[in-house]
Chains A and B, each alone.
Chain A
Protein backbone atom coordinates (compact mmCIF):
# COMPACT_ATOMS: atom_id res chain seq x y z
CA UNK A 1 0.00 0.00 0.00
CA UNK A 2 1.29 3.41 -0.87
CA UNK A 3 2.19 5.50 2.14
CA UNK A 4 -0.53 8.03 2.55
CA UNK A 5 -3.29 7.03 0.19
CA UNK A 6 -6.03 6.14 2.63
CA UNK A 7 -9.05 7.16 0.66
CA UNK A 8 -11.82 4.61 0.86
CA UNK A 9 -11.59 3.78 -2.82
CA UNK A 10 -7.93 2.89 -2.68
CA UNK A 11 -8.51 0.94 0.52
CA UNK A 12 -11.12 -1.17 -1.21
CA UNK A 13 -9.11 -1.56 -4.37
CA UNK A 14 -6.01 -2.62 -2.45
CA UNK A 15 -7.83 -5.15 -0.30
CA UNK A 16 -7.13 -8.81 -0.83
CA UNK A 17 -9.33 -10.72 -3.24
CA UNK A 18 -11.26 -12.52 -0.56
CA UNK A 19 -12.07 -9.32 1.30
CA UNK A 20 -13.14 -7.74 -1.96
CA UNK A 21 -15.37 -10.73 -2.63
CA UNK A 22 -16.92 -10.39 0.80
CA UNK A 23 -17.53 -6.71 0.16
CA UNK A 24 -19.15 -7.45 -3.18
CA UNK A 25 -21.44 -10.06 -1.62
CA UNK A 26 -22.45 -7.63 1.09
CA UNK A 27 -23.12 -4.86 -1.39
CA UNK A 28 -25.32 -7.13 -3.49
CA UNK A 29 -27.12 -8.38 -0.38
CA UNK A 30 -27.71 -4.82 0.72
CA UNK A 31 -29.08 -3.76 -2.67
CA UNK A 32 -31.41 -6.74 -2.89
CA UNK A 33 -32.58 -6.36 0.67
CA UNK A 34 -33.41 -2.73 0.02
CA UNK A 35 -35.37 -3.77 -3.05
CA UNK A 36 -37.32 -6.15 -0.83
CA UNK A 37 -37.77 -3.54 1.86
CA UNK A 38 -39.25 -0.97 -0.50
CA UNK A 39 -41.34 -3.47 -2.41
CA UNK A 40 -42.74 -5.06 0.74
CA UNK A 41 -43.41 -1.65 2.19
CA UNK A 42 -45.47 -0.63 -0.81
CA UNK A 43 -47.25 -3.98 -0.98
CA UNK A 44 -48.20 -4.07 2.69
CA UNK A 45 -49.40 -0.47 2.68
CA UNK A 46 -51.59 -1.24 -0.33
CA UNK A 47 -52.92 -4.38 1.34
CA UNK A 48 -53.85 -2.43 4.44
CA UNK A 49 -55.67 0.31 2.58
CA UNK A 50 -57.37 -2.26 0.33
CA UNK A 51 -58.64 -4.07 3.39
CA UNK A 52 -60.01 -0.86 4.87
CA UNK A 53 -61.79 0.09 1.63
CA UNK A 54 -63.26 -3.38 1.26
CA UNK A 55 -64.51 -3.43 4.82
CA UNK A 56 -66.15 -0.04 4.33
CA UNK A 57 -68.00 -1.20 1.22
CA UNK A 58 -68.90 -4.54 2.76
CA UNK A 59 -70.48 -3.10 5.86
CA UNK A 60 -72.21 -0.28 3.97
CA UNK A 61 -75.16 -2.61 3.38
CA UNK A 62 -74.52 -3.39 -0.24
CA UNK A 63 -76.10 -6.48 -1.78
CA UNK A 64 -73.59 -9.32 -1.52
CA UNK A 65 -74.52 -10.72 -4.94
CA UNK A 66 -73.80 -7.39 -6.55
CA UNK A 67 -70.56 -7.01 -4.65
CA UNK A 68 -69.46 -10.47 -5.71
CA UNK A 69 -70.21 -9.77 -9.37
CA UNK A 70 -68.39 -6.46 -9.27
CA UNK A 71 -65.32 -7.88 -7.63
CA UNK A 72 -65.17 -10.83 -10.01
CA UNK A 73 -65.27 -8.49 -12.94
CA UNK A 74 -62.49 -6.39 -11.46
CA UNK A 75 -60.41 -9.45 -10.71
CA UNK A 76 -60.78 -10.65 -14.30
CA UNK A 77 -59.62 -7.32 -15.59
CA UNK A 78 -56.61 -7.16 -13.29
CA UNK A 79 -55.74 -10.84 -13.55
CA UNK A 80 -56.44 -12.00 -10.01
CA UNK A 81 -57.85 -10.10 -7.10
CA UNK A 82 -56.27 -8.52 -4.09
CA UNK A 83 -56.06 -9.69 -0.52
CA UNK A 84 -59.29 -9.81 1.36
CA UNK A 85 -61.40 -9.69 -1.80
CA UNK A 86 -60.07 -13.11 -2.73
CA UNK A 87 -61.21 -14.52 0.59
CA UNK A 88 -64.65 -13.05 0.17
CA UNK A 89 -64.97 -14.29 -3.40
CA UNK A 90 -63.80 -17.80 -2.57
CA UNK A 91 -66.22 -18.06 0.32
CA UNK A 92 -69.19 -16.62 -1.53
CA UNK A 93 -68.58 -18.68 -4.65
CA UNK A 94 -68.50 -21.87 -2.64
CA UNK A 95 -71.58 -20.84 -0.71
CA UNK A 96 -73.67 -20.09 -3.79
CA UNK A 97 -72.55 -23.29 -5.46
CA UNK A 98 -73.45 -25.43 -2.47
CA UNK A 99 -76.81 -23.76 -1.83
CA UNK A 100 -77.92 -24.07 -5.47
CA UNK A 101 -78.59 -27.77 -5.10
CA UNK A 102 -81.86 -28.54 -3.30
CA UNK A 103 -81.97 -30.10 0.10
CA UNK A 104 -78.36 -29.68 1.00
CA UNK A 105 -77.40 -29.92 4.59
CA UNK A 106 -76.76 -26.42 6.07
CA UNK A 107 -73.86 -27.70 8.10
CA UNK A 108 -72.21 -29.21 5.04
CA UNK A 109 -72.68 -25.89 3.22
CA UNK A 110 -71.03 -24.01 6.05
CA UNK A 111 -68.20 -26.49 6.24
CA UNK A 112 -67.45 -26.19 2.54
CA UNK A 113 -67.56 -22.41 2.69
CA UNK A 114 -65.27 -22.27 5.64
CA UNK A 115 -62.79 -24.57 3.98
CA UNK A 116 -62.76 -22.49 0.81
CA UNK A 117 -62.13 -19.36 2.86
CA UNK A 118 -59.36 -21.03 4.84
CA UNK A 119 -57.59 -21.99 1.66
CA UNK A 120 -57.87 -18.44 0.31
CA UNK A 121 -56.64 -17.08 3.64
CA UNK A 122 -53.54 -19.20 3.69
CA UNK A 123 -52.81 -18.24 0.11
CA UNK A 124 -53.09 -14.57 1.04
CA UNK A 125 -50.82 -15.02 4.01
CA UNK A 126 -48.23 -16.58 1.75
CA UNK A 127 -48.43 -13.58 -0.53
CA UNK A 128 -48.10 -11.14 2.36
CA UNK A 129 -45.05 -12.74 3.87
CA UNK A 130 -43.21 -13.41 0.63
CA UNK A 131 -39.58 -12.20 0.63
CA UNK A 132 -39.56 -11.74 4.39
CA UNK A 133 -37.39 -14.85 4.92
CA UNK A 134 -34.80 -13.29 2.64
CA UNK A 135 -34.73 -10.16 4.77
CA UNK A 136 -34.39 -12.28 7.89
CA UNK A 137 -31.44 -14.19 6.51
CA UNK A 138 -29.69 -11.01 5.33
CA UNK A 139 -30.23 -9.55 8.78
CA UNK A 140 -28.70 -12.48 10.57
CA UNK A 141 -25.97 -13.55 8.17
CA UNK A 142 -24.44 -10.38 6.77
CA UNK A 143 -22.73 -9.30 10.02
CA UNK A 144 -21.02 -12.68 10.07
CA UNK A 145 -19.92 -12.34 6.48
CA UNK A 146 -18.54 -8.88 7.22
CA UNK A 147 -16.81 -10.18 10.30
CA UNK A 148 -15.26 -12.94 8.29
CA UNK A 149 -13.85 -10.40 5.84
CA UNK A 150 -12.49 -8.34 8.69
CA UNK A 151 -10.89 -11.27 10.43
CA UNK A 152 -9.30 -12.37 7.21
CA UNK A 153 -7.97 -8.88 6.49
CA UNK A 154 -6.58 -8.42 10.00
CA UNK A 155 -5.04 -11.86 9.84
CA UNK A 156 -3.22 -10.90 6.67
CA UNK A 157 -2.06 -7.57 8.00
CA UNK A 158 -0.67 -9.19 11.12
CA UNK A 159 1.07 -11.78 9.05
CA UNK A 160 2.67 -8.91 7.15
CA UNK A 161 3.64 -7.36 10.48
CA UNK A 162 5.55 -10.45 11.47
CA UNK A 163 7.96 -9.91 8.58
CA UNK A 164 8.72 -6.34 9.57
CA UNK A 165 11.57 -5.60 11.94
CA UNK A 166 10.31 -2.31 13.29
CA UNK A 167 6.69 -2.88 14.09
CA UNK A 168 4.86 0.41 14.17
CA UNK A 169 1.20 1.15 14.22
CA UNK A 170 1.50 2.57 10.74
CA UNK A 171 2.39 -0.82 9.30
CA UNK A 172 -0.82 -2.48 10.48
CA UNK A 173 -3.20 0.44 10.50
CA UNK A 174 -4.02 0.50 6.79
CA UNK A 175 -4.66 -3.23 6.72
CA UNK A 176 -6.95 -3.10 9.71
CA UNK A 177 -8.75 -0.06 8.40
CA UNK A 178 -9.30 -1.84 5.13
CA UNK A 179 -10.51 -4.94 6.90
CA UNK A 180 -12.94 -3.03 9.08
CA UNK A 181 -14.72 -1.73 6.00
CA UNK A 182 -16.07 -5.25 5.56
CA UNK A 183 -17.66 -5.22 9.01
CA UNK A 184 -19.07 -1.78 8.40
CA UNK A 185 -20.65 -2.99 5.20
CA UNK A 186 -22.05 -6.04 6.91
CA UNK A 187 -23.69 -3.90 9.55
CA UNK A 188 -24.87 -1.48 6.91
CA UNK A 189 -26.65 -4.32 5.17
CA UNK A 190 -27.94 -5.96 8.33
CA UNK A 191 -29.41 -3.07 10.31
CA UNK A 192 -32.08 -1.97 7.82
CA UNK A 193 -32.91 -5.61 7.15
CA UNK A 194 -33.45 -6.31 10.85
CA UNK A 195 -35.63 -3.25 11.33
CA UNK A 196 -37.64 -3.95 8.20
CA UNK A 197 -38.08 -7.61 9.02
CA UNK A 198 -39.39 -6.93 12.49
CA UNK A 199 -41.71 -4.22 11.30
CA UNK A 200 -43.07 -6.14 8.35
CA UNK A 201 -43.50 -9.35 10.28
CA UNK A 202 -45.65 -7.50 12.82
CA UNK A 203 -47.60 -5.84 10.05
CA UNK A 204 -48.23 -9.12 8.24
CA UNK A 205 -49.52 -10.57 11.46
CA UNK A 206 -51.96 -7.73 12.06
CA UNK A 207 -53.23 -7.83 8.49
CA UNK A 208 -53.61 -11.57 8.67
CA UNK A 209 -55.49 -11.32 11.94
CA UNK A 210 -57.89 -8.80 10.45
CA UNK A 211 -58.42 -11.10 7.43
CA UNK A 212 -59.28 -13.93 9.76
CA UNK A 213 -61.65 -11.77 11.72
CA UNK A 214 -63.40 -10.77 8.55
CA UNK A 215 -63.61 -14.39 7.44
CA UNK A 216 -65.26 -15.31 10.73
CA UNK A 217 -67.73 -12.47 10.49
CA UNK A 218 -68.61 -13.30 6.93
CA UNK A 219 -69.01 -16.93 7.88
CA UNK A 220 -71.41 -16.00 10.66
CA UNK A 221 -73.49 -13.93 8.23
CA UNK A 222 -73.71 -16.86 5.81
CA UNK A 223 -74.49 -19.19 8.69
CA UNK A 224 -77.45 -17.04 9.69
CA UNK A 225 -78.65 -17.01 6.11
CA UNK A 226 -78.41 -20.73 5.54
CA UNK A 227 -80.12 -21.60 8.80
CA UNK A 228 -82.93 -19.07 8.50
CA UNK A 229 -84.11 -20.63 5.23
Chain B
Protein backbone atom coordinates (compact mmCIF):
# COMPACT_ATOMS: atom_id res chain seq x y z
CA UNK B 1 0.00 0.00 0.00
CA UNK B 2 1.23 3.48 -0.83
CA UNK B 3 0.16 5.01 2.45
CA UNK B 4 1.98 2.56 4.69
CA UNK B 5 5.15 2.73 2.61
CA UNK B 6 5.40 6.49 2.89
CA UNK B 7 4.57 6.34 6.59
CA UNK B 8 7.43 3.89 7.08
CA UNK B 9 9.74 6.28 5.26
CA UNK B 10 8.73 9.17 7.48
CA UNK B 11 9.08 6.97 10.54
CA UNK B 12 12.60 5.87 9.65
CA UNK B 13 13.71 9.44 9.06
CA UNK B 14 12.14 10.65 12.29
CA UNK B 15 13.58 7.82 14.34
CA UNK B 16 17.11 8.30 13.07
CA UNK B 17 16.76 12.04 13.55
CA UNK B 18 15.66 11.63 17.17
CA UNK B 19 18.58 9.33 17.91
CA UNK B 20 21.07 11.63 16.26
CA UNK B 21 19.74 14.52 18.32
CA UNK B 22 19.97 12.58 21.58
CA UNK B 23 23.51 11.46 20.81
CA UNK B 24 24.52 15.02 19.97
CA UNK B 25 22.93 16.36 23.13
CA UNK B 26 24.73 13.80 25.25
CA UNK B 27 28.03 14.52 23.54
CA UNK B 28 27.63 18.25 23.94
CA UNK B 29 26.68 18.07 27.60
CA UNK B 30 29.12 15.49 28.73
CA UNK B 31 32.36 17.05 27.59
CA UNK B 32 32.87 20.13 29.78
CA UNK B 33 32.53 18.34 33.10
CA UNK B 34 35.56 16.22 32.61
CA UNK B 35 37.67 18.92 31.09
CA UNK B 36 40.51 19.91 33.32
CA UNK B 37 41.91 23.37 33.37
CA UNK B 38 45.64 23.22 33.33
CA UNK B 39 47.27 26.26 34.80
CA UNK B 40 50.47 26.89 32.97
CA UNK B 41 53.28 28.29 35.09
CA UNK B 42 54.06 31.83 34.22
CA UNK B 43 57.40 32.13 32.58
CA UNK B 44 59.58 35.13 33.21
CA UNK B 45 61.70 36.00 30.27
CA UNK B 46 65.30 36.37 31.38
CA UNK B 47 67.43 38.82 29.48
CA UNK B 48 71.15 39.06 29.46
CA UNK B 49 72.23 42.51 30.35
CA UNK B 50 75.45 43.50 28.71
CA UNK B 51 77.86 45.45 30.76
CA UNK B 52 79.33 47.36 27.85
CA UNK B 53 80.23 51.01 28.31
CA UNK B 54 77.77 53.37 26.88
CA UNK B 55 78.90 55.23 23.89
CA UNK B 56 79.21 58.83 24.80
CA UNK B 57 77.63 60.96 22.29
CA UNK B 58 80.14 63.35 20.73
CA UNK B 59 78.75 66.76 20.87
CA UNK B 60 78.73 68.59 17.67
CA UNK B 61 80.06 72.10 17.69
CA UNK B 62 77.40 74.67 17.78
CA UNK B 63 76.98 77.24 15.10
CA UNK B 64 79.96 79.41 14.51
CA UNK B 65 79.90 83.00 15.54
CA UNK B 66 80.30 85.53 12.76
CA UNK B 67 82.83 87.88 14.35
CA UNK B 68 86.23 86.61 13.28
CA UNK B 69 88.78 87.58 15.98
CA UNK B 70 86.80 86.88 18.98
CA UNK B 71 85.44 84.02 17.18
CA UNK B 72 88.86 82.64 16.42
CA UNK B 73 89.91 82.96 19.97
CA UNK B 74 86.79 81.39 21.11
CA UNK B 75 87.26 78.68 18.59
CA UNK B 76 90.76 77.98 19.80
CA UNK B 77 89.49 77.88 23.31
CA UNK B 78 86.82 75.61 22.24
CA UNK B 79 89.24 73.35 20.43
CA UNK B 80 91.44 73.16 23.43
CA UNK B 81 88.55 72.48 25.64
CA UNK B 82 87.42 69.84 23.23
CA UNK B 83 90.77 68.12 23.16
CA UNK B 84 90.91 68.20 26.87
CA UNK B 85 87.45 66.77 27.01
CA UNK B 86 88.34 64.00 24.61
CA UNK B 87 91.41 63.09 26.61
CA UNK B 88 89.35 63.07 29.72
CA UNK B 89 86.76 60.92 28.08
CA UNK B 90 89.42 58.46 26.96
CA UNK B 91 90.81 58.25 30.43
CA UNK B 92 87.38 57.75 31.82
CA UNK B 93 86.61 55.00 29.34
CA UNK B 94 89.80 53.24 30.24
CA UNK B 95 88.95 53.45 33.86
CA UNK B 96 85.50 52.22 33.20
CA UNK B 97 86.78 49.24 31.24
CA UNK B 98 89.16 48.42 34.06
CA UNK B 99 86.32 48.60 36.53
CA UNK B 100 84.13 46.34 34.45
CA UNK B 101 86.91 43.82 34.11
CA UNK B 102 87.37 43.78 37.84
CA UNK B 103 83.69 43.37 38.32
CA UNK B 104 83.48 40.45 35.91
CA UNK B 105 86.37 38.70 37.60
CA UNK B 106 84.78 39.16 40.96
CA UNK B 107 81.55 37.78 39.54
CA UNK B 108 83.33 34.75 38.20
CA UNK B 109 84.95 34.04 41.50
CA UNK B 110 81.69 34.43 43.29
CA UNK B 111 79.99 32.06 40.93
CA UNK B 112 82.64 29.42 41.35
CA UNK B 113 82.32 29.73 45.07
CA UNK B 114 78.58 29.40 44.91
CA UNK B 115 78.83 26.36 42.68
CA UNK B 116 81.12 24.70 45.14
CA UNK B 117 78.82 25.48 47.99
CA UNK B 118 75.85 24.12 46.16
CA UNK B 119 77.63 20.90 45.36
CA UNK B 120 78.62 20.44 48.94
CA UNK B 121 75.06 21.05 49.99
CA UNK B 122 73.76 18.51 47.53
CA UNK B 123 76.21 15.96 48.78
CA UNK B 124 75.12 16.63 52.30
CA UNK B 125 71.47 16.31 51.38
CA UNK B 126 72.16 13.03 49.64
CA UNK B 127 73.94 11.66 52.63
CA UNK B 128 71.13 12.76 54.85
CA UNK B 129 68.57 11.13 52.63
CA UNK B 130 70.50 7.90 52.65
CA UNK B 131 70.71 7.99 56.36
CA UNK B 132 67.02 8.68 56.66
CA UNK B 133 66.31 5.81 54.30
CA UNK B 134 68.35 3.46 56.38
CA UNK B 135 66.69 4.68 59.49
CA UNK B 136 63.30 4.18 57.97
CA UNK B 137 64.18 0.67 56.92
CA UNK B 138 65.28 -0.08 60.40
CA UNK B 139 62.16 1.53 61.74
CA UNK B 140 59.95 -0.60 59.55
CA UNK B 141 61.83 -3.67 60.62
CA UNK B 142 61.33 -2.75 64.22
CA UNK B 143 57.68 -1.99 63.61
CA UNK B 144 57.22 -5.30 61.86
CA UNK B 145 58.80 -7.05 64.80
CA UNK B 146 56.61 -5.22 67.25
CA UNK B 147 53.57 -5.98 65.11
CA UNK B 148 54.45 -9.61 65.15
CA UNK B 149 54.79 -9.58 68.90
CA UNK B 150 51.47 -7.82 69.32
CA UNK B 151 49.85 -10.24 66.91
CA UNK B 152 51.27 -13.16 68.85
CA UNK B 153 49.90 -11.86 72.10
CA UNK B 154 46.47 -11.46 70.55
CA UNK B 155 46.77 -14.91 69.09
CA UNK B 156 47.48 -16.28 72.54
CA UNK B 157 44.40 -14.50 73.78
CA UNK B 158 42.21 -16.00 71.10
CA UNK B 159 43.63 -19.42 71.76
CA UNK B 160 43.00 -19.07 75.49
CA UNK B 161 39.39 -18.04 74.93
CA UNK B 162 38.94 -20.90 72.54
CA UNK B 163 40.15 -23.49 74.99
CA UNK B 164 38.05 -21.88 77.71
CA UNK B 165 34.89 -22.32 75.69
CA UNK B 166 35.77 -25.75 74.51
CA UNK B 167 33.66 -28.68 75.63
CA UNK B 168 35.54 -31.88 75.57
CA UNK B 169 33.76 -34.53 73.52
CA UNK B 170 33.91 -38.04 74.73
CA UNK B 171 35.87 -39.23 71.80
CA UNK B 172 38.72 -36.78 72.42
CA UNK B 173 42.08 -38.45 72.85
CA UNK B 174 45.47 -37.20 73.74
CA UNK B 175 47.47 -35.82 70.86
CA UNK B 176 44.49 -34.85 68.75
CA UNK B 177 45.15 -31.74 66.74
CA UNK B 178 42.95 -29.64 64.52
CA UNK B 179 44.03 -26.77 62.30
CA UNK B 180 41.19 -24.32 61.95
CA UNK B 181 40.98 -21.10 60.08
CA UNK B 182 38.96 -18.27 61.57
CA UNK B 183 37.93 -15.43 59.32
CA UNK B 184 37.46 -12.32 61.42
CA UNK B 185 36.24 -8.78 60.97
CA UNK B 186 37.65 -5.77 62.85
CA UNK B 187 34.81 -5.81 65.37
CA UNK B 188 36.07 -9.16 66.56
CA UNK B 189 33.20 -11.17 65.13
CA UNK B 190 33.77 -14.40 63.28
CA UNK B 191 32.48 -14.50 59.73
CA UNK B 192 33.68 -17.95 58.90
CA UNK B 193 35.28 -21.01 60.38
CA UNK B 194 36.95 -23.70 58.35
CA UNK B 195 38.64 -26.87 59.37
CA UNK B 196 41.85 -27.00 57.39
CA UNK B 197 43.30 -30.17 58.86
CA UNK B 198 41.01 -32.53 60.59
CA UNK B 199 42.07 -34.40 63.69
CA UNK B 200 40.50 -37.49 62.28
CA UNK B 201 37.62 -37.32 64.72
CA UNK B 202 34.50 -35.55 63.50
CA UNK B 203 33.18 -34.83 66.97
CA UNK B 204 36.45 -33.24 68.00
CA UNK B 205 36.51 -31.03 64.92
CA UNK B 206 32.95 -29.98 65.50
CA UNK B 207 33.60 -29.20 69.13
CA UNK B 208 36.47 -26.91 68.14
CA UNK B 209 34.26 -25.17 65.63
CA UNK B 210 31.56 -24.65 68.23
CA UNK B 211 34.10 -23.36 70.70
CA UNK B 212 35.13 -20.73 68.19
CA UNK B 213 31.55 -19.57 67.78
CA UNK B 214 31.06 -19.55 71.52
CA UNK B 215 34.20 -17.56 72.12
CA UNK B 216 33.32 -14.74 69.77
CA UNK B 217 33.28 -11.78 69.75
CA UNK B 218 36.92 -11.27 70.51
CA UNK B 219 36.39 -7.72 71.66
CA UNK B 220 40.12 -7.20 72.26
CA UNK B 221 40.59 -7.08 68.51
CA UNK B 222 38.72 -3.79 68.41
CA UNK B 223 41.57 -2.11 70.22
CA UNK B 224 44.09 -3.42 67.77
CA UNK B 225 45.64 -1.20 65.16
CA UNK B 226 43.98 -1.79 61.81
CA UNK B 227 47.38 -2.34 60.23
CA UNK B 228 48.07 -5.34 62.40
CA UNK B 229 44.57 -6.63 61.95
CA UNK B 230 44.80 -6.51 58.19
CA UNK B 231 48.13 -8.22 58.22
CA UNK B 232 47.47 -11.04 60.65
CA UNK B 233 43.86 -11.33 61.67
CA UNK B 234 41.75 -11.25 58.53
CA UNK B 235 42.17 -14.96 58.58
CA UNK B 236 43.85 -16.66 61.47
CA UNK B 237 45.06 -20.20 61.43
CA UNK B 238 45.08 -21.78 64.83
CA UNK B 239 46.32 -25.21 65.80
CA UNK B 240 44.06 -26.49 68.54
CA UNK B 241 45.60 -29.21 70.63
CA UNK B 242 44.45 -29.37 74.23
CA UNK B 243 47.34 -30.37 76.44
CA UNK B 244 45.43 -30.77 79.63
CA UNK B 245 43.74 -33.91 78.53
CA UNK B 246 43.98 -36.63 81.08
CA UNK B 247 42.81 -39.42 78.93
A interface residues (Cβ-Cβ under 8 A, vs B)? 4-9, 27, 30-32, 34-39, 42-43, 46, 78-80, 82, 188
Contact = CB atoms under 8 A, between A and B. Distances in A.
B27 A43 contact: no
B18 interface: yes
Given A36-B11, A42-B10, A80-B1, A30 B19 contact: yes
B34 A42 contact: no
B43 interface: no
Contact of B2 (A8, A30, A46, A78): A78
Contact of B36 (A4, A34, A78): A4
B34 A7 contact: yes
Contacts of A4: 34, 36
A7 B32 CA distance: 9
A42 B16 contact: no
B2 A34 contact: no
B3 interface: yes
B104 interface: no
Interface of A, helix, strand, loop or mixed by DSSP: helix
Interface in B1-47: 1-4, 7-8, 10-12, 14-16, 18-19, 22, 26-27, 30-31, 34, 36
Nearest to A46: B3
B3 A39 contact: no
Contacts of B31: 7
B27 A8 contact: yes
Given A5-B34, A79-B2, A39 B8 contact: yes
Interface residues of B, number: 21
A9 B14 CA distance: 24
A35 B8 contact: yes
A6 B8 CA distance: 38
A166 B2 CA distance: 65
Contacts, number: 55
A39 B27 CA distance: 28
A34 B19 contact: yes
Contacts of A32: 15
Interface of B, helix, strand, loop or mixed by DSSP: helix
Contacts of B1: 78-80
Interface of B: 1-4, 7-8, 10-12, 14-16, 18-19, 22, 26-27, 30-31, 34, 36
A31 B15 contact: yes
Nearest to B7: A42
B10 to A, nearest CB: 7
B150 to A, nearest CB: 23
A169 B192 CA distance: 27
Nearest to A50: B3
A46 B12 CA distance: 18
A85 to B, nearest CB: 13
B36 A39 contact: no
The 8 closest A-B pairs by CB, nearest first: A34-B15, A38-B11, A39-B11, A6-B34, A42-B7, A35-B15, A8-B30, A35-B11
Contacts of A31: 15-16, 19
Given A31-B16, A39-B7, A46-B3, 20 more contacts: A4-B34, A7-B34, A27-B19, A30-B19, A31-B15, A34-B11, A34-B15, A35-B8, A36-B11, A37-B15, A38-B10, A38-B15, A39-B11, A42-B10, A43-B4, A43-B7, A78-B1, A79-B2, A80-B1, A82-B3
B23 to A, nearest CB: 9
Contacts of A5: 34
Given A4-B36, A6-B34, A8-B26, A35 B12 contact: yes
A188 B18 CA distance: 12
A161 B14 CA distance: 43
Contacts of B22: 188
A32 B27 CA distance: 22
